[in-house]
Amino acid sequence: MKYIYILLLSVIIPFASFSQLEVGAGWSSVAASDGVNAVSSGGIQMNLDYNVTSDSKLRVAPGLNTVMLFSTDDWGDPLLIFDVMPGVQVGLEYVNLKVNYSLFDNLLWYGLGSRIPIGDSHGISISLQASAVGGIGLGWGSVGYSYKFN
């Protein structure tokens, strides 16, 4: 079955237009709080998404976020936290509703995202999302550079 997908992709990709493909990277931070104590961690994030409504004012862009956070454990030793989060953005060019699913933590993240264009290809991406697990509130913010292929 996987060979059928590989064959389909190898036939479709050379003829596909990548004019709405967007890649980006930047700073990411995640915070958690139970209402009394709070912790946070920072790191880098890489983004990839594709706007499937290329000639519309509405933006529907499935994508993938990869986050690497740097933290310390209870003993002060360095700790690297890695997560992959597929998701979708729906909205206009400047304001999008975002939903991401954390594959490693089984969490749904909801929030807002924005891409502020600087010329035709370059831009600044901003995102703020929230989630909750077991009475602990989680917040995830990111800001970074994005490049849209024309």
Residue 53, pLDDT score: 83
β pairing state of 78-91 and 21-33 = unpaired
Q: What pLDDT, in 10s, does the model give residues 61-80?
A: 999 999 999 987 778 788 88
Residue 86 and residue 103 in contact, taking contact as beta carbons nearer than 8 Å: yes
Is 6 part of a structural domain of the chain? no
Number of domains in the chain: 1
Whole-number Å distance between alpha carbons of 129 and 47:
15
**Residue 13: pLDDT over 60:** no
Alpha carbon distance 140, 33 (integer Å):
12
| 71 located within any domain | yes
Write the pLDDT tens digit of every residue in 29-43. Answer: 999 999 999 988 999
- Give the DSSP letter of residue 125: E
% of the chain surpassing 70 pLDDT: 87
Confidence bin at 28 (pLDDT 50/70/90):
very high
- Copy the structure tokens of residue 61: 């862009």
Q: Is residue 5 part of a domain?
A: no
d(CA 140, CA 25): 15
Domain extent at residue 141: 18-148
What is the CATH number for 58?
2.40.160.20
- φ/ψ of residue 2, rounded to 5: -65, -25
pLDDT one-digit tens code per residue, 41-56:
999 999 999 988 877 7
Is there a domain that residue 1 lies in? Answer: no
The verdict on residue 10 lying in a domain is no
Specify if 4 maps to a domain.
no
Task: Assess if residue 52 is contained within a domain.
Answer: yes
pLDDT of residue 78: 84
